[in-house]
Each structure stands twice: as C-alpha cells, then as structure tokens.
Structure 1
Amino acid sequence: MTPVLVGLVGGPDVGGRTTTAVEGILAGAAKAGATTSLLEISQVSQEEIAAAFEAADGVVLGSPVYRASFSALLRTALEGTERGRWGEKTAPLQGKVAATVLTGASAHHFLAVNDLRNVLASFFAVQVLSPGLYFDHGAYVDRTTLTEESATLAAAHGSALADLARAVRGSAALQAITPQV
C-alpha cells in the first residue's frame, strides 16, 4: 500500500519556516514510499482542504505558534472540518493518521504541540504520531533550509508517519474509532 499524505501549512507566509518544516516531514515520507502533496491554508479554500483530507491516508499539520497556540488559520481550517457528529455528513479525518510540527522564535512555546495533538486525537479521533515536532529558529540554516540535524529528525517523522498510515489502513478497528462526543 502506498500511503497518500498531505501537508497542510497554517502560516500566513507562503514558503516560510513552517512550510520548510512540513516539507522536511513530507520528504521523509516520500523516501519511505508515500505519495505526498502540500497545501498552504492561506492559498486554498475550506472545500479544497476537506477534499485533500478525504483523499489522504494521513496529514502533516504545521503551524507557527502565536500566543502559545497554533495559528488562527489552522484553527479555522480544523473548525471547518466535519467529524461525522451532530448531523455532519462527512468525517474526512476519521481513520487517518497525523504528524504535527509547530515553529516559533524560541523554545518557550514547545508545549503548544500538545494542544494540537489533543484536538486531533480527541476531537477528530485521529491517530497522532508522538511526539510532535517543534522547531525554533535554531533548527534552520535560513528560512528555507533546515539544519542537518533538524532535517534528519523531520525525515524520520515522515518515514514513521508513512509506516503508521500503513498500519492504520490495515486495521479495521483503528479506522472505526470515532470521537466520543
């Protein structure tokens, strides 16, 4: 099975540090045999996001950290994503896997990764690769280049996400888990 993974970047700057981080994870997934694509939330509609989620086996969600949380762009995209509850007709993230990567100016907000993981795991019943990644400015050579160490770590997460997607795809029980509320 060839996993299909989509990266979704929740930063306002196309091609910024968060895009670089998500691309690093997707590169590792591609090397592990996954088919990958990338969407910048600021450039696509909610309908395009929902369609990408529906078509994918898994997602890589990336966001800069603002005020100790993931971006309003990503929050809005997730709030606009149905989860098959309360009369909603679709659940495009159900039975899927996710990896998360947040970026920030310093290490002070690295725990924001937990907030995003909790939303995905609890609210959407997504199987989330742990731990999530957090890259501060020290993880970059420049805006579009990760350090060797950071690139290796991102690629390892991508490879692990591809493996996790295969495992979840092969498990009817994991795919059937739904949000409780």
Structure 2
Amino acid sequence: MTHVLGVVAGPEAGGRTATAVAGVLAGAEKAGATTSLLELSEAGIDAVIAAFGEADGVVFGSPVYRATYSALLKDLLERTERGKWGESTAPLQGRVAATVLTGASGHHFLALGDLRDVLAGFFAVQVLSPGLYLDHGGYVDRTTLTDQSAELAAAHGAALADLAAAVRGSAALQAITPQI
C-alpha cells in the first residue's frame, strides 16, 4: 500500500498551510493511500527525516515568506542526506513529492518552481507538477478550504498516490540518483 507523508514547514502548527496539506492528504486517502502528517515546528527535523524512509510520497507544505518557502523547510532540506559526498543515506531517493505553498496573495506563486527545482534537481525526486499554491481566497477560514480549493487539493493527493505507485513499480525511476 502507498504511504504519503505530509510535512508542514510553518513556524506554528495548525495554520493555513497545514489545512492545505491535509486537503492533499485527504485526496491521497480517497485514492487508497495511507497518510500521516508531521508539523516540522512540533516534530523536529530528525523525526521528519526518519519518516521519509517510511513514505512512498511526501507532500512538502510551506508558507511563502519573502517570495520563497520557509527557512524551516530550507533547513530540513539542507539536513537531508542524498547519498553523495560521503553521506550514508538518501531517504528521498525513489520517492515522489507534491509541493504546497500558501501566501497572503497570488503574487508569490512562482516560488513553487524554486522548491520543485530543489527537489527534482538536487534530490532526484519525481515531483508532481504543477504545484499547489493557495492564497487567502482559497479558504473559508484558517482551518477550512473553500469547496473549489478542497477539490483541487484532493486531486493533487490522488495524482500523487498514482505517481507514487508508478514510481514504486519502476526500477528505473527508483534508481535515478542526483548527478552531482
């Protein structure tokens, strides 16, 4: 069975980003995947990195600050080994990912490309495209997505579950590693 891990990299638990990631996880569950959610601000980096090894897919969620994803997510990615330069593990190798960013307005949606590039290029993760970006208009309130946003998030979750199954079934895709 496919397992999808949601990682929320906001400075405090339970915010809009957690709501959006939960919406993606709901879609993955509906598609038959098991899911779990970790808030980086509560679980800590070591617990999240350990959880990568149990997941077929990861939903990376972050609020956007200064036109990029959070420093918490940057720190997590910087501490995650990729099996190069003497590193002994590569917990994201052979995995798939979805990206979920949230912001106050639509002006920062291009930050999705930066996160996708790091995951695909640096870690050789197969990344679902396009990423999901939600501004305040995508929410009824802090913990409730609008119907349209909930449908979109669920579609991303179902697609991620399908992508995870495809990658898990392909030895060639699982064998791709970072080049440098």
TM superposition score normalised by structure 1: 0.99
TM-aligned CA deviation for residue 93 of structure 1 = 0.2
Q: Which residue in the other structure is 2:66 paired with?
A: 67
Query: In the TM superposition, what is the alpha-carbon distance from 1:6 to its structure 2 partner?
Result: 0.4
* Partner in structure 2 of residue 180 of structure 1: 179
The letter for the 2-side match of 1:142 is D
State whether structure 2 residue 42 is matched by structure 1 residue 39. no
Q: What is the alpha-carbon distance in structure 2 between the residues aligned to residue 15 and residue 33 of structure 1?
A: 25
- Structure 2 distance, partners of 1:23, 1:105, is 19
Structure 1 unpaired stretches of 5+ = none
Code of the residue aligned with 2:27 in structure 1: it is G
Moved more, 122-131 or 49-58: 49-58
> 1:164 deviation in Å?
0.3
Aligned to 2:19, the other structure's residue is in SS state: helix
Give distance in 2, aligned partners of 1:142 and 1:25: 17
Instruction: Using the TM superposition, give the Cα deviation of residue 49 of structure 1 relative to its aligned residue in structure 2, in angstroms.
Output: 1.1
- DSSP 3-state at the match of 2:53: helix
Kindly provide the amino acid, as one letter, of the partner of residue 167 in structure 1. Answer: A
CA distance in 2, matches of 1:39, 1:79: 18
Write out aligned runs for 1:129-140 (5 A). Answer: 129-140=128-139
Provide the C-alpha distance between the structure 2 equivalents of 1:46 and 1:72, rounded to a whole number of angstroms: 12
1:155 aligns with 2:154: yes
* Aligned residue number for residue 78 of structure 1: 77
* Partner Cα distance (1:47, 1:111) in 2: 29
Provide runs of 4+ in structure 1 moved above 6 Å.
none
Give the AA of the match of 1:13: E
RMSD: 0.5
**Unpaired segments ≥5 residues, structure 2:** none
How far the C-alpha of 1:50 sits from its partner, in A, is: 1.2
Alignment partner, residue 109 of structure 1? 108
